[in-house]
A and B are shown apart, each in its own frame.
Chain A
Amino acid sequence: MIEFKHVFKEYDNNVIAANDFNITIKQGEFVYVVGPSGAGKSTFIKMMYREEMPTSGQIKINEFELEKIKNKEVPFLRRELGVVFQDFKLLPRLTVFENVAYAQQVIEKSPEEVKERVERVLELVGLTDKTTMFPNELSGGEQQRIAIARAIANKPRVLIADEPTGNLDPNTANDIMEIIERINKEGTTVVMATHNSSIVNERKHRVLEIDDGRIIRDQKRGGYKDESNNR
């Protein structure tokens, strides 16, 4: 369960990136966040994993009330969230296996548990044959699959994805979407910011449209553009 109540965010340079956000996302939902660059999508995403703090208002992620938790507790919030980025953000000096295992080591799992879980998630993203390779030896699509494997290694209740297909060709993007939808079907909430109109139009889910720091549309099974009033 994700809840935004009267959330405002103003940056130091007076840009208002969030103007009274009121959103509730239930457990297991799949939500696209769309809108032009600079509209506030990334800020919305970043506030969820507390990379950015709102200027005012309340954000609740599961039992975490973000404006109340201390810096020390942030790692524990992040363990409930899996985050995937456009640029993958893999650790370049670690192998595929080690990259995914890192998330598990952080929560102090035993080596046996880590091995088992890493193999499971790599199987889920279809990369069991490349465990000993390094990220720079892999294609973009493969790297993104590792990033997703890492994000779901700790069985998070929420998967947050910021333009996960932004650097990928259409076919690879489709593969990645297959994986993300599969994860969603297993009960994980997915919040995904994207510019990819064909994905949003073909794989229909709830759509939040943000423009100029405001939520201008919240539509069940919506398209990339609001078709109801022919914009």
Chain B
Amino acid sequence: MKAITVKRHLVESFKSLKRNGWMSVAAFSAVTVTLLLVGVLLSIIMNVNKIAADIENDVQVRVLIDRGTTSKQREVLKKQLSGLNSVHNIKFSSKEQELKNVVGSYGNEFKLFGGDDNPLNDVYVVKTKKPSQTVKVAKEVRKMKHVYDAKYGGASAKKLFKIVDGIQKWGMGISLLLLFVAVFLISNTIKITILSRRNEISIMRLVGATNSFIRWPFILEGAWTGLFGAILPIIVVDIGYAWIHGILSASLASTGYRLLSPGIFLVQIDILMILIGILIGAIGSGLSMRKFLKI
């Protein structure tokens, strides 16, 4: 396709968006409503995934080593740990590293505890082969020498996993359903605008326009509809998420689980909504064109 043709299609698609007036508004609203719901669902699903990952990481035993334990004694302890049947792997995390994690999660205020003031323990992070083994492993480890404590967070994991699984499946299902509905709505709306222009299309074919030459302005028109339809949902989801994040973070703080912070996450969601909008718009109008292009 030549550059002038691309330019022509772009101009043409804009013109026809304007000419179709209310039909464009209708298609545009369909996209807006769908993307709004999809945006909300996506935020929920992605956060659930995040928490699921958090829980998964919790399926481990954190062996807090007594302060003042020498590196030799630590090695002995490590051997003992790896001797346990259900242990999958062992990672060492120094107290400096532990502090870094805390600062990363809760903020720079905790930098105060650096150096000799660090109240944390060196830690062996022991992963078990199965989530259910954490309890048993923790019990055994507590009896070992140089162990200050053994913590595990996966006690209620099973129940949580079930809930998470449900949310993921239903959320994805509903999102997909919504996208189908949107494609259908848009293709129907555009079909009406095309119906009124069937005569034009037949004339276009008559003077030797190829199908793609006829189709492109319509597909672009759909894409614009999707793009403009995404604006409102983006604004609502961005503001809404920041607000809800503020409220929920406070109440979730005690559980140790955290929501995805706005910022990059919202940028991702915004881009995703724009892409989905453009895609359903373009597909919707592309589909509704097909019938009229049969020769």
Contact = CB atoms under 8 A, between A and B. Distances in A.
Interface in B201-215: 202-211, 213
Contacts of B204: 91, 102, 106
Interface in B191-238: 199-200, 202-211, 213
Interface residues of A, number: 26
A89 B203 contact: yes
A154 to B, nearest CB: 7
25 contacts: A71-B295, A74-B295, A75-B209, A75-B210, A77-B208, A78-B205, A79-B207, A83-B206, A89-B206, A91-B203, A92-B200, A102-B204, A103-B208, A105-B5, A105-B8, A106-B208, A106-B209, A106-B210, A106-B213, A108-B5, A110-B4, A111-B4, A150-B207, A154-B207, A154-B208
B206 A78 contact: yes
A47 B188 CA distance: 33
A188 to B, nearest CB: 16
B15 to A, nearest CB: 9
B19 interface: yes
Contacts of B200: 91-93
Contact of B19 (A77, A83, A91, A93): A93
Contacts of A78: 205-208
A49 interface: yes
B24 to A, nearest CB: 15
Interface string A49-90: 110000000000000000000011011111100010000011
B164 to A, nearest CB: 50
A76 B295 contact: no
Considering residues A83, A92, A108, which has the most beta carbons from chain B within 10 angstroms of its beta carbon? A108
Majority DSSP secondary structure for residues of B touching A: helix
B2 interface: yes
Interface residues of B, number: 21
Interface of A: 49-50, 71-72, 74-79, 83, 89-93, 102-103, 105-108, 110-111, 150, 154
B89 to A, nearest CB: 60
B129 to A, nearest CB: 60
B179 to A, nearest CB: 31
Nearest to B5: A108
Q: Sort A-B residue pairs by CB-CB distance and give the 9 closest, nearest first.
A: A79-B208, A78-B208, A103-B207, A106-B209, A75-B210, A75-B208, A71-B295, A108-B2, A74-B295
Contacts of A79: 207-208
Contacts of B1: 108
Nearest to A150: B207
Contacts of B202: 89
B208 A107 contact: yes
Contacts of A107: 208
Contact of A76 (B5, B8, B208): B208
Contacts of A49: 206
Contacts of B209: 75, 106
A62 to B, nearest CB: 14
A74 B1 CA distance: 18
Contacts of B295: 50, 71, 74
Contacts of A75: 205, 208-211, 213
Nearest to A82: B207
Nearest to B15: A93
A91 to B, nearest CB: 6
Most buried by A among B199, B200, B204, B210: B210
Contacts of A154: 207-208
Nearest to A76: B208
A70 to B, nearest CB: 10
Interface string B1-12: 110110010000
A137 to B, nearest CB: 18
Given A72-B210, A103-B208, A105-B8, 6 more contacts: A74-B295, A78-B206, A79-B208, A108-B1, A108-B4, A154-B208
Contacts of A111: 4
B20 to A, nearest CB: 11
A61 B185 CA distance: 43
A76 B2 CA distance: 17
Nearest to A111: B4
A49 B203 CA distance: 13
A76 B207 CA distance: 9
A89 B19 CA distance: 20
B7 to A, nearest CB: 9
A142 B209 CA distance: 24
A49 B295 CA distance: 11
